[in-house]
Amino acid sequence: MLCTWGRWMMAAMRHNVRNLYLIPYVLWIALFVAAPILLIVYYSFFDIEGKWTIANYEKFFTPIYLKMALNSFWYAFLITLFSLLIAYPTAYFLTKTKHKQLWLLLIILPTWVNLLLKAYAFLGIFGTFGLANAILEMLGIGKKQILFTDFSFVFVSVYIFIPFMVLPIFNALEELNPSLVDAARDLGASAWTTFRRVVFPLTLDGVKAGCQAVFIPSLSLFMITRLIAGNRVITLGTAVEEHFLVTQDWGMGATIAVFLMIAMAVIIGLTGNRK
Partner 1 sequence: MKRNRTWGQIYLVIVFVILYMPIFYLMYYSFNSGGTMHHFQRFTFEWYKEVFHDPRLLIIVINTLVIALLSATISTILGVAGALSIYYVKRRRAKNLLLTFNNVLIVSPDVIIGASFLILFTIAGIKLGFISVLLSHIAFSVPIVVLMVLPKLQEMSPTLMDAAHDLGANQWQVLTRVILPFITPGIFAGFFMALTYSLDDFAVTFFVTGNGFSTLSVEIYSRARQGISLSINALSTLLFLFTILLIVGYYVISQKGGRLYGEGGRR
Contacts of 157 by beta carbon, 8 Å cutoff, 6+ apart: 75, 79, 218, 221, 224
**What single-letter DSSP state applies at residue 63?**
H
Supply the minimum distance, in Å, between the C-beta of residue 32 and partner 1: 4
Phi, psi angles (nearest 5°) of residue 166: -65, -45
Closest CA to 112 of 170, 167, 160: 160
Longest dimension (CA), the chain: 78
Task: Return the number of the residue (13 or 54) whose C-beta is nearest partner 1.
Answer: 13
Residues paired with 46 in a beta bridge: 52
Supply the minimum distance, in Å, between the C-beta of residue 14 and partner 1: 14
Supply the minimum distance, in Å, between the C-beta of residue 111 and partner 1: 8
Task: Return the number of the residue (141 or 223) whose C-beta is nearest partner 1.
Answer: 223
Supply the minimum distance, in Å, between the C-beta of residue 125 and partner 1: 6
Task: Return the number of the residue (172 or 224) whose C-beta is nearest partner 1.
Answer: 224
Supply the minimum distance, in Å, between the C-beta of residue 232 and partner 1: 15
Task: Return the number of the residue (17 or 187) whose C-beta is nearest partner 1.
Answer: 17
Contacts of 17 by beta carbon, 8 Å cutoff, 6+ apart: none
Task: Return the number of the residue (43 or 65) whose C-beta is nearest partner 1.
Answer: 43
Closest CA to 24 of 32, 35, 16: 32
Task: Return the number of the residue (64 or 109) whose C-beta is nearest partner 1.
Answer: 109
Sign of CA dihedral 193, 198, 202, 206: negative
Supply the minimum distance, in Å, between the C-beta of residue 86 and partner 1: 7
Sign of CA dihedral 56, 58, 59, 65: positive
Number of helices (H), then strands (E), belonging to the chain: the values are 16, 0
